[in-house]
Amino acid sequence: MNTLRTLIWKELLDLSRDRGTLFSTILLPLIALPIIGIVVGYVFQVQPTIIAIIDQDNSEWSRWLIEYFKAVIGVDSVPVKDVCVGVFLGRPVILYFNYTSVRSAELDPKIDLIVIIPGNFSKLVPNINVKVPVYYTVKTTSRADIAINVLWSAVSNFERHVAEARLKVLAPTVRINDIEYLRNPVEIKFYKLLKPSGVVAKPEERNIYLTMMVLIIALFMTISPPIAFISDSIAGERERKTLECLLVTPTSRNQILLSKLLSSIILSFLSSGASTIGAYIMYMFVLSGFGGGLVTLPINLEIIGVFSLTVFLTVFVTVSMALLISCLSDSVRSAQSKSIAISMVGSLVMFIGLYGDIDRLPSTVRTLLYFIPYTHSLQILNQYMKYNIYHAIPHILYLILFIVVFLVISIKIFNSERIFFGSKV
């Protein structure tokens, strides 16, 4: 045990000498990811959505519609001539009324949406047999979705006003207590919040899918550091001509291999923790920028425990695969270039997890994906979030099986003469 402890300490010292790698894999995520989140969130929050409203009717009814636009963004009056500044869903919105032609607004690059109130607007509003058109032109900007939501909210509120006026024309002698019962006779009421499995979910778990997205991204940020560490540990020793000296010591080869494996896992786990914390903070700020206020993602000790287990197994299987590649490589550069395939496969599974559900894929595709270890990493989180940890046990066992297979092959190579030659056999 003392020999193994000494070997692990030796490996940690060797890996820690590369300060650049340690900084980029452990400290950089804690610094860079929150900064990215703050910058992106700030840009989304302070970047105004600009809407140009062109009133070609200039009537009482068109002015009513404009008032509803102002009400939606929380402004009761126009503080500056032809300009109205307000907030919608925490995002700044500016309304402009000073454009005399549609084309001038179209040519203005700062405009996100152009609303056109046609010249016959006031004539069509009282007519119960027609729909009143409101035209709009949207530009392909990052704020266009917010602008369209402002438009639909204002028009929806204005429709109630029009419905009341038309009903009064249609039935002036009828006493109507609440126009809402005629306009919207069906009421949609929230009944129950469930997980995909049908189990009742807690109110704070409503946005659990956002937490799932952050965990998936953080999980696959843990793939690259183990590759860097283990590549230097085996191929680096061979490249520096120190592997032969290490192997002729009285220490068994299995102990040497185990020390390299454990030291890489320790540093990789530290890097994974830093990446997870950084990713959580980053997405908290990004989502806050979208929502206009501080947003916290639902997370608890149980989720942290399951995620930590998943990270450990993912790091372990990555180290096992990279260890095998390193044993068969002549240099660190060769080992890392060959290991790019591991990162690419991990990225493929990550995108599937972000934009799809593996359980809903055709059985043939799902079976093929199950030959990729990282699919089971994703499924551990997926099954836990949908059901409970017991549904994730098969995928935990699959990952352990992959680890054992890769380690057995690596041990055989490490205990053979091939370890001296790498790929030159």
Q: What is the pLDDT of residues 132-156, one digit of tens each?
A: 889 999 988 878 888 999 999 999 8
Return the residue matching tokens 């193994």: 4
79: pLDDT strictly greater than 60:
no
**What is the total residue count of the chain?**
425
Q: What is the pLDDT of residues 390-409, one digit of tens each?
A: 889 999 999 999 989 988 88
- Read off the pLDDT of each residue in 56-66 and give the average, rounded to a whole number: 90
Rounded CA-CA distance 423/200 in Å is 55
Please give the full DSSP string across 129-193, using - where no structure is assigned: TSPPP-EEEE-SSTTHHHHHHHHHHHHHHHHHHHHHHHHHHH-TTS--S-THHHH----------
5: pLDDT strictly greater than 70:
no
318: pLDDT strictly greater than 80:
yes
Give yes or no for a contact between 112 and 88, defined as CB atoms under 8 angstroms apart: no
Pick the residue with more confidence: 64 or 160? 64
What is the longest distance spanned by two Cα atoms in the chain?
Answer: 105
Backbone φ and ψ for 107, nearest 5 degrees, come out as -85, -10
Band (pLDDT 50/70/90 cuts) for residue 172 is low
Whole-number pLDDT of residue 395:
93
Rounded CA-CA distance 103/57 in Å is 17
Whole-number pLDDT of residue 113:
92
Whole-number pLDDT of residue 253:
72
Whole-number pLDDT of residue 258:
76
- Read off the pLDDT of each residue in 168-182 and give the average, rounded to a whole number: 62
| Residue ranges of domains in the chain, CATH in brackets | 2-43+197-420 (no CATH), 48-183 (3.40.1710)
Q: Using DSSP, state whether 96 is helix, strand or coil.
A: strand
CA distances to 214, 253, 361, 407, 418 from 330, in Å:
37, 19, 40, 19, 11
What share of the chain in percent tops pLDDT 70? 74
Whole-number pLDDT of residue 182:
61
CA angle 422-313-342, nearest 5°? 45
Band (pLDDT 50/70/90 cuts) for residue 217 is confident
Q: What is the pLDDT of residues 225-280, one digit of tens each?
A: 777 777 766 766 666 666 666 666 667 777 777 777 777 777 777 777 777 777 77
176: pLDDT strictly greater than 90:
no
Q: Using DSSP, state whether 200 is helix, strand or coil.
A: strand
Give yes or no for a contact between 231 and 338, defined as CB atoms under 8 angstroms apart: no
Whole-number pLDDT of residue 341:
76
- Read off the pLDDT of each residue in 176-201 and give the average, rounded to a whole number: 67
Whole-number pLDDT of residue 348:
84
End-to-end alpha-carbon separation of the chain, Å?
A: 34
Give yes or no for a contact between 133 and 114, defined as CB atoms under 8 angstroms apart: no
76: pLDDT strictly greater than 70:
no
Whole-number pLDDT of residue 174:
60
- Read off the pLDDT of each residue in 158-185 and give the average, rounded to a whole number: 68
Q: What is the pLDDT of residues 336-373, one digit of tens each?
A: 777 777 778 877 888 888 777 888 888 898 899 999 99
Band (pLDDT 50/70/90 cuts) for residue 312 is confident
169: pLDDT strictly greater than 80:
no
Pick the residue with more confidence: 136 or 211? 136
Rounded CA-CA distance 110/136 in Å is 16
425: pLDDT strictly greater than 60:
no
In this structure, of 159-168, 352-361, 373-382, the range with the lowest mean pLDDT score is: 159-168
DSSP-assigned beta bridge partners for residue 113:
51, 138
Pick the residue with more confidence: 114 or 201? 114
Return the residue matching tokens 């085996």: 234
Pick the residue with more confidence: 66 or 423? 66
In this structure, of 101-105, 294-298, 418-422, the range with the lowest mean pLDDT score is: 418-422
Whole-number pLDDT of residue 308:
83
